[in-house]
Amino acid sequence: MEGPSVEKVAVPEDEATTSPIPDRVIHSQMAEERPLEGRVAIITGGAGGIGAAIAAHLAGLGARVAISYATSATAATSLAATLNGVAIKADVTSAASVASLFDLAEQAFSRKAHILVCCAGTINADYTTVSETSERSFEELFEVNAKGAFLCCREGARRLDGEGGRGRIVVVTSSMVAQGKAGFGVYAAAKAAAEAVVGVVAKEVGGKGVTANCVAPGPTATEMLYKVRKTKEEVARVAGECPMGRVGRPGDVAEVVGFLVGDGARWVNGQVIRANGGIV
């Protein structure tokens, strides 16, 4: 950090007025109903759960959505049809497949993507302790949750349209990174790696009109939760750990993502936003 000298900060022309409300805020209010109109969003893992909720929410805000899926073709195609978007099969662990995802999204909408939401992820259903975790399980968790996030962020950093400061990268990680609960060591480590990548990417793309952030959900009512918490009693116990008295809903997370990809979050960059009801 430089010395304690104070420098005069230039005021943008749109704020250098006697009005307490900048022009950009007034314009924003006029377009409040569909603030993402004209923008293209790519959502990986968008066929179900949190990813599907994000796709639906961003479409409702006016974005054209490209829903990436790995295996759930029927669900992805049906959702895309409902949202007037496109469904694109992609393997986030393959650099060539991620590049193709961007190519196909650009072809579908005849423009570059402005928004990338990385929601593809996997978890170990047995939530084994570190001492019991196999190398294969370690590799699978890092392959999707860490490498997949890296490849998508890398492609986004290269190709997102940041004109007007509207480029956005959001990676969905997990509040388990902060919780550090027994049985989730490798999963948390892989998500922590993704958060570390995003923190650096944020510094590298800021000058290109792109921000990069993470949203870290807590336990959320999706197939992934019920894959790990197999009984009603287990789910109830997890819900009881939250000050809000319930597990999250996919829409709870989607609305946070909707904020981060909008113009109101232009000054939010390199952050991890925990959307977990206060569980940590």
What positions carry a catalytic annotation?
187
Exposure letters 65-90 (e unless 16+ CB within 10 A, then b): bbbbbbebeebbbebbeebebbbbbb
Expressed in percent and rounded to 5, the helix, strand and coil fractions of the chain are 50, 15, 40
Q: What phi and psi values does residue 41 have, to the nearest 5 degrees?
A: -120, 130
**Rounded distance, CA 171 to CA 225, Å?**
19
Residue with tokens 């890092």: 142
Residue 77, C-beta contacts closer than 8 angstroms, at least 6 positions apart: 87
Residues 6+ apart with CB under 8 A from 184: 127, 176
- Please answer whether residues 191 and 173 qualify as being in contact, where contact means their C-beta atoms are separated by less than 8 angstroms: yes
